[in-house]
């Protein structure tokens, strides 16, 4: 994790920390991450790739529309 850029670390923490806890409370296997600003696409992609490589999440769907990014993330470990 240390080798990742700061912004990517932030998204890793948000997805694996806050989103995973929320999914756990809801008993939801998947959640949507919605982010305004297409400039965030690269760091989010890198964060999700890192978590996928660790076997923690699976990216089910990715879309962009009207300046927003939409990611459907399945949590493999909760």
Total domains in the chain come to 1
Q: Whole-number mean pLDDT of the chain? A: 95
pLDDT at 78 over 90: no
Residue 31 within a domain: yes
In angstroms, what CA-CA distances link 65 with 5, 36, 38, 39?
Answer: 26, 10, 9, 13
In the chain, DSSP assigns E strands to 30-36, 57-65, 68-75
Give pLDDT, residue 77: 72
- Residue 1 counted as domain residue: no
Residue span of the structural domain in which 26 resides: 6-75
Out of 6-10, 11-15, 74-78, least confident range: 74-78
- Tell me the average pLDDT across 19-38: 95
Is the pLDDT at 27 greater than 70? The verdict is yes
List Cβ neighbours of 25 (8 Å cut-off, separation of 6 or more): none
């Amino acid at each position: 994790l240390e080798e990742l850029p700061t912004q990517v670390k932030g998204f890793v923490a948000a997805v694996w920390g806050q989103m995973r806890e929320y999914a756990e409370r809801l008993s939801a296997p998947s959640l949507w991450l919605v982010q305004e600003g297409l400039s965030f696409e690269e760091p989010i992609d890198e964060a999700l790739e890192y978590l996928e490589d660790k076997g923690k999440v699976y990216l089910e769907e990715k879309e962009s529309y009207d300046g927003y990014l939409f990611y459907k993330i399945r949590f493999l470990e909760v």
